[in-house]
Amino acid sequence: MAKEDYEVVMGLEIHAELSTKTKIFCSCPTDFGGEPNTHCCPVCMAMPGTLPVLNEKVVEYAVKAGIAMNCDIAENSKNDRKNYFYPDLPKSYQISQFDMPLCKNGYIEIETKDGKKKIGITRIHFEEDAGKLNHDEYGGGSFVDLNRAGVPLIEIVSEPDIRGAEEADIYLKKVKSILEYIEVSDCKMQEGSLRADVNVSVRKKGDNKLGTRTEMKNMNSFRAIQNAVAYEVKRQIDILESGGKVEQETLRWDELQGETISMRDKEDAQDYRYFPEPDLALIHISKEYVEEIKRNMPELPESRKNRYISYYNLPEYDANILTSTKYFSNLFEGALEVCNNPKAVSNWIMSDIIGILNEKEINADKIPFTAKDLGELICLIDKGTISTSIAKKVLLEMFDTSEKPNKIIEKNGWVQISDEGAIIEVVNKILAANPQSISDYKAGKDRALGFLIGQAMKETKGKANPGMLNKMFLEELNKQ
Amino acid sequence: MNVSREEIIHMANLADLNLSEEEIQKYTKDMEDILAFANEINKVNTDNLDESITANERYNILRKDEVKEFEDKDALLQNAPSQKNGMFHIPKMI
Ligand SMILES: [Zn+2]
């Protein structure tokens, strides 16, 4: 059988660090970086006799995520201990949630090439992150830094509804975008604040039974997931095609070698011996609490998109891109507050800003100017202060210097020339230098006018008001 | 309650313990006694009682999300058998 006769079935477990100020069970700061073991205290270092106290924001953020992903919020929930030994886990157990997660039975909608599709969310629970092991920096041994130990995480577990690497990519980006919109995680994959365990299995098309799955842990880039899944799917199909059996196991993706490597043998099958955490009280979530959070939820991308289409008359394609991250969406809405020209603002983001971001290889969250700045820039075009071509130069400088558009224009002397006397002077100068164009125009070649305007623009370094140039060239040509 | 030799070895592995043959025998017997003792509770009549998930009936014991830095940082590492650059130094892990 060929590769096309198989169907890929995937589920994702996404871990997102919550953007609370303090850790989940103690008051240490969660700031990224910092000297090793400086964001620590006896609680997150698991000193004997210490007790955890749950951060109320962790519950709030996890409930927010549950609501945004259409989950049922459990009225009663609890914490459990997940037991395993690893030096980045100082208590030798992780406080997590086992059989009574905070959120269950949700879904999110993604746009695939075959249209909209729902991906089921089995559950969302909260837990603590582990510390970090450093290797080889100072010769032999390993070194434990517990700054990240106890940083709150949510784990979002999907149903096995994902068919292939491309859908996994769309799904992960959608989850990231939602978490950013509701401001519960900053989702920085490079810093490890968003990472995914990816389950993959294959089965013959038409089969209802799931194939044996393998799991790849801690994937923290979109590209690694694409490559790892492609490799793993081929590996599993090759095994089945040659009459073998896929083993259920945990794999590690080796980006350099471009292959998956088995992490543990089966004899050591994971047995976490979960049991209820005796050091923490139960969590009770009232209907009023959920309603209150619902009332204060930021508007989600789906709703923003529909509003852009119906209220601002933007094409669905544009609305999709503008709402693909909160950074574009907030830029769009912020600019509109200053400059009420939705089509123009949308175009500037869709073509110029996204173009510059791609060229400079920077992410949308790193745009160095404010939405108000963009609005002002577009207003300056609408008012005739600068031409569109000058505005493009101003935008580039805004990216480089983060300065206000007005200041950049003033500094470079880029104000559009709209003074009649000055324009007529340029028009006459260009006409005098181009007698051939005058005869061409007289002979009915309209292109000659475009050439003359182009020359005048060049002469004024793009600062002449194009509308006035057009009008005055016509007047002068008709006089001749 | 029967506890198998394999179960004892599995539990010992999970706890990172190496047991001698003698210890395996002894703990198998001990574990059977413990389970038999715990089984006593199954004799209690629980008809008409709600299921409880904890012995502690209190709920929502929460704290505000406010940073309080722990001051005595040096004390945190003072019992480390070995440390370097503010980190716990341990055998090589991969
Ligand atoms: Zn702490």
pLDDT in tens, B30-69: 999 999 999 998 888 988 888 887 777 889 999 999 999 9
In this prediction, residues A18-37 reach a mean pLDDT of 95
- CB pair distance less than 8 Å for B61 and A59: no
Neighbours of A84 (CB within 10 A): 13
At position A359, the amino acid (one-letter code) is: E
Q: CB-based contact (8 Å) between B72 and chain A?
A: no
Contact in structure between A73 and A106 (CB atoms under 8 Å): no
Contact A273 B13 (CB under 8 A): no
Given a contact cutoff of 8 angstroms between Cβ atoms, the answer to whether A42 and A82 are in contact is: no
- Whole-angstrom distance, CA of residue A410 vs CA of residue A40: 50
The rounded Å distance from CA A8 to ligand 1 centre is 42
Is residue B65 in a domain? no
- CB distance A22–B66 less than 8 Å? yes
Residue A15, SS3?
A: strand
B78 touches chain A (CB under 8 A): no
A22 contacts B67? CB cut-off 8 A: yes
- Enumerate the residues of chain B whose CB falls inside 8 A of the CB of residue A87: 88, 90, 93
Structural domain includes residue A334: yes
Residue A193 sits in the same domain as residue A89: yes
- Beginning with the edge strand found earlier in the chain, give each strand of the sheet holding A93-96 in spatial order: A93-96, A80-83, A275-276
Residue B9 resides in a domain: yes
CATH number of the structural domain spanning residue A427: 1.10.10.410
Q: Check residue A387 and give its pLDDT.
A: 84
Picking from A257, A289, A321, the residue at the C-terminal end of a domain is A289
User: In 10 A of CB A113, how many CB atoms?
Assistant: 7
What percent of chain A clears pLDDT 90, i.e. is strictly above it? Answer: 68
Q: Which residues, at least 6 apart from B54, have a Cβ–Cβ distance to it below 8 Å?
A: A78, A276, A278, A281, A282
CA of A13 to the centre of ligand 1 (A): 26
Angle at which helices A165-181 and A326-338 pack, to 10 degrees? 50
Looking at the structure, tell me whether residues A391 and A472 fall in a common domain: no
Residue of chain B minimizing CA distance to A280: B61
**Which range marks the domain in which residue B26 is found?**
5-42
Would residue B56 count as lying in a domain?
no
Contacts of residue A433, Cβ cutoff 8 Å, sequence gap at least 6: A455
| Domain encompassing residue A78 | 3-289
Contact state of A56 with B62 under an 8 Å Cβ cutoff: yes
Residues A107 and A168 in one domain: yes
Name the burial class of residue A435, with classes exposed (0-12), middle (13-18) and buried (19+) by CB atoms within 10 angstroms of its CB: exposed
Structure tokens at A319: 């609305």
First to last CA, chain A: 79
**Cβ-defined contact of A53 to B62 (cutoff 8 Å):** yes
Confidence of residue A266 (pLDDT cuts 50, 70, 90): very low
A69 and A190 together in one domain: yes
Q: How far is B42 from chain A (nearest CA, A)?
A: 19
Residue linked to tokens 């002979």: A443
Indicate whether A166 and A67 sit together in one domain: yes
CA-to-CA distance for A350 and A364, rounded, in angstroms?
12
Closest CB to A59 among B62, B70, B84: B62
The mean pLDDT value for A177-198 works out to 92
A342, A396: one domain: yes
User: Which site among B56, B72, B76 would you substitute to test the A interface, given the most A Cβ atoms closer than 10 Å to its Cβ?
Assistant: B76
Domain assignment present for residue A314? The answer is yes
Is A423 or A357 the better-scoring residue by pLDDT?
A: A357
A40 pLDDT above the threshold of 70: yes
User: Any idea which of A6-20, A159-173, A230-244, A267-281 has the lowest mean pLDDT?
Assistant: A267-281
Does a structural domain hold residue B38?
yes
Q: What is the mean pLDDT of residues A150-161?
A: 97
Instruction: Look at residue A249 and give its three-state secondary structure.
Output: coil
Q: What is the CATH number of the domain that holds B13?
A: 1.10.20
Report the C-alpha gap between A422 and B60 in whole angstroms: 74
- Integer Cα distance of A368 and A376 in angstroms: 15
CA of A149 from ligand 1 middle (Å) equals 8
- Six-digit token string for A348: 């500037």
d(CA B85, CA B92): 16
Is residue A442 scored above 90 in pLDDT? no
With CB atoms and an 8 Å threshold, state whether A273 touches B67. Answer: no
pLDDT at A405: 93
**Domains held by chain B: number:** 1
Going from the Cα of A289 to the center of ligand 1, the distance in angstroms, rounded, reads 28
Size of interface A-B (CB pairs under 8 A): 121
Q: What angle do CA A218, A223, A226 make, to 5 degrees?
A: 85
- pLDDT at A377 > cutoff 50: yes
Classified as helix, coil or strand, A353 is: helix
Q: Evaluate whether residue B58 is within a structural domain.
A: no
- B82 contacts in chain A (CB < 8 Å): 141
Pick the residue with more confidence: A257 or A198?
A: A198
> In whole angstroms, how far apart are CA A429 and each of A424, A441, A453, B89?
8, 17, 12, 79
> Which chain A residue's Cα is nearest to B68?
A27
Map residue B87 onto helix, strand or coil. strand
Bridge-based pairing state of the strands A214-219 and A250-254: parallel
What separation in angstroms does the CA of A471 have from each of A72, A280, A355, A388?
65, 78, 33, 18
Indicate the residue among A412, A436, A465 that finishes a domain. Answer: A412
pLDDT for position A33: 85
Shared domain check, A454 and A406: no
Distance from CA of B40 to the nearest CA of A (A): 20
Do A137 and A251 belong together in one domain?
yes
A158: which 2 tokens? 């999907």
HSE, side-chain direction, 13 A CA sphere, residue A50? 17
Q: How far apart are CA B29 and CA B3, in angstroms?
A: 8
Of A225, A259, A289, which residue is a domain's last?
A: A289
Judge whether B89 is closer than 8 Å to chain A, CB to CB: yes
Q: Are A254 and A375 contained in the same domain?
A: no
Please give the sequence-ordered ranges of beta strands (E in DSSP) within A231-273, or none if there are none.
Answer: 250-254, 259-262
Whether A294 is covered by a domain: the verdict is: no
Domains held by chain A: number: 3
For A392-441, the pLDDT digits (tens) are: 999 999 999 999 999 998 888 888 777 788 888 889 999 999 999 888 98
Query: Mutation test of the interface with chain B: which of A20, A22, A95, A270, choosing the one with the most B Cβ atoms within 10 A?
Result: A22
Which stretches does DSSP call E strand in A148-295? 152-158, 194-204, 214-219, 250-254, 259-262, 275-276, 283-284
Cα–Cα distance for residue pair A444/A173, rounded to 1 Å: 56
Whether residue B36 lies inside any domain: the answer is yes
Q: Tell me which amino acid residue A337 is.
A: E
Give the length of chain A: 480
Cβ pair A155, A71 in contact under 8 A: no
Residue A208 and residue A94 share a domain? yes
Considering the domain architecture, whether residues A252 and A377 belong to the same structural domain is answered as no
Closest CA to A55 of B15, B64, B19, B68: B64
Q: Is the domain of A248 the same as that of A272?
A: yes
Task: For residue A71, give the nearest of A125, A127, A14 by alpha carbon.
Answer: A125
Rg of chain B over all Cα atoms, to the nearest angstrom? 23
State residue A274's pLDDT score.
95
Q: Shortest CA distance to A157 belongs to which of A116, A233, A117, A102?
A: A102
Confidence tier at A264 by pLDDT (50, 70, 90): low
> Are A271 and B92 within 8 A, CB to CB?
no
Query: Is the confidence at residue A69, as pLDDT, over 60?
Result: yes
Sign of CA dihedral A301, A302, A308, A309: positive
